[in-house]
């Protein structure tokens, strides 16, 4: 039986290292050719490492949380071998871990699954399991390859019978408890570290300023209510508000090209296309896949692209190339209930649009006070490149298109 080394694959341009996020196969497990055996966390997305041969999983050369470089060996696979009996697997030792008398504050104690499931849990799922006190072995995963997601854990916690206080009374492994107060130390994921670094760099580099406006959503709400059923029947996707905003933004960017530009050294780079980055949630944090050439897409095409991004972000299946580039970003904090915010630009971009929740407010229309569904818009921009007049003009153009969606149809 011949052992084949499993090495870290090429991760993308300029990416030389990653963090081992989880082991998908344990020593002794049978693996098929190209079957994922490990998940790596890079600066942008999670990357699965496939098995180079069919056989049996050998020994792990690195542990969860270790930093690995491209080309480094992380494990071996015994080609053509037979899977070890289940009794030989290390799971029984894991089930005894909570009974150990010596609690450890180190996060290493949380890297093993707590239930009978052989699949390792991602860091965000492990945290959710500890917070909600649910047994992962009783949860049916809806993620890729049947893996448990954070949403699965939260759903299981809501359905857990109220008359089961025993699990809550036991302290979570790896947590320290003093006088009824608990603390848990969890290592930041590589993605979260990168997000923190880039956001701080943006604040340190750009002369960042935010300007606000509000928009009456009446016309868009009425159009959506009138056509949403026909739209979904024809295009196979729901009609949301983001399709309108992305399309309106591409029109405004064409009118105000500096908002779609970037600074490179002493040069200003103007783009005759609009690659719109849309912020979506993933288990590891906020990611910003890019809608390429959004100016050429219909509202339906934009909605389909955003829906696909959101689904694959939750599964950790976004690709590196889908995260690169982008000339302008739209972040919708309204889905979480945000009323107003000052979003941070995503370098080398020079501006980001923040959308917020819709709420009924009294406004004056034709001299009369009426109640309208209003939304605050926030444009954060790099004042080194974009003047206040241009920022305000962009928001006004966007506001006009949303309040009169016919403008989107006739490109006005």
Q: At CA 346, angle to CA 344 and CA 348, rounded to 5?
A: 135
Q: Please say if 132 is a catalytic residue.
A: no
**Distance (Å, whole) CA 246 – CA 202:** 23
Looking at the DSSP bridge assignments, the partners of residue 22 are: 39
SS3 for 326? coil
- Give me 208's structure tokens: 């960042």
List the catalytic residue out of 229, 293, 296, 383: 383
Whether the ω angle into residue 348 lies within 30 degrees of 0, i.e. cis, is yes
Q: Are 249 and 353 in contact (CB under 8 A)?
A: yes
**Distance separating alpha carbons of residues 259 and 21, to the nearest angstrom:** 37
Catalytic residue among 34, 116, 387, 404: 387
- Give which of 294, 219, 290 is closest to 254, Cα–Cα: 294
Encoding tokens for residue 127?
Answer: 């945290």
Determine contact, residues 351/327, Cβ cutoff 8 Å.
Answer: no
Paired residues of 278 in beta bridges = 330
Say if CB 291 and CB 246 are below 8 A apart: yes
271 has catalytic annotation = no
CB 132 within 8 A of CB 154: yes
Q: Which residues are catalytic?
A: 383, 387
């Amino acid at each position: 039986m011949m052992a084949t080394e499993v090495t870290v694959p090429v991760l993308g341009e300029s990416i030389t290292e990653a963090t081992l996020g989880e082991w998908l196969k344990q020593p002794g497990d049978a693996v098929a050719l190209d079957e994922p055996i490990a998940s790596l966390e890079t600066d942008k997305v999670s990357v699965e490492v496939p098995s180079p041969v069919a056989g049996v999983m050998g020994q792990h050369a690195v542990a969860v949380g270790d930093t690995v470089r491209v080309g480094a060996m992380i494990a071996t696979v015994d080609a053509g071998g037979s899977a070890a009996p289940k009794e030989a697997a290390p799971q029984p030792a894991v089930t005894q871990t909570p009974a150990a008398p010596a609690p450890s504050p180190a996060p290493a104690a949380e890297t093993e699954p707590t239930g009978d499931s052989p699949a390792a849990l991602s860091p965000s799922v492990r945290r959710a399991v500890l917070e909600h006190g649910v047994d992962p072995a009783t949860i049916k995963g809806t993620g890729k390859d049947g893996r448990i997601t954070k949403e699965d854990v939260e759903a299981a916690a809501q359905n857990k019978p109220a008359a089961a206080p025993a699990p809550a009374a036991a302290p979570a492994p790896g947590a320290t408890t003093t006088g009824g107060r608990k603390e848990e130390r969890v290592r930041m994921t590589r993605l979260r570290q990168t997000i923190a670094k880039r956001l701080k760099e943006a604040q340190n580099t750009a002369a960042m300023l935010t300007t606000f406006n509000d928009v009456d959503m009446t016309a868009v709400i009425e159009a959506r209510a009138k056509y949403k059923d026909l739209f979904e029947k024809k295009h196979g996707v729901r009609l949301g508000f983001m399709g309108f905003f992305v399309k309106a933004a591409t029109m405004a960017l064409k009118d105000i090209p500096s908002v779609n530009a970037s600074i490179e050294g002493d040069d200003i780079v103007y783009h005759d296309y609009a690659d719109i980055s849309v912020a979506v949630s993933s288990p590891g944090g906020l990611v910003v896949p890019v809608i390429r050439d959004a100016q050429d897409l219909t509202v339906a095409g934009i909605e389909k692209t955003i829906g696909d991004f959101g689904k694959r972000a939750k599964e950790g299946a976004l690709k590196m190339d889908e995260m690169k580039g982008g000339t302008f970003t739209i972040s919708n904090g309204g889905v979480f209930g945000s009323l107003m915010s000052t979003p941070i630009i995503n370098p080398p971009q020079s501006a980001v649009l923040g959308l917020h929740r819709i709420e009924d407010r009294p406004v004056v229309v034709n001299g009369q006070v009426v109640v309208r569904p209003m939304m605050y818009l926030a444009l954060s921009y790099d004042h080194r490149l974009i003047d206040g007049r241009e920022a305000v003009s962009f928001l006004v153009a966007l506001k006009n298109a949303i309040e009169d969606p016919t403008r989107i149809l006739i490109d006005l």
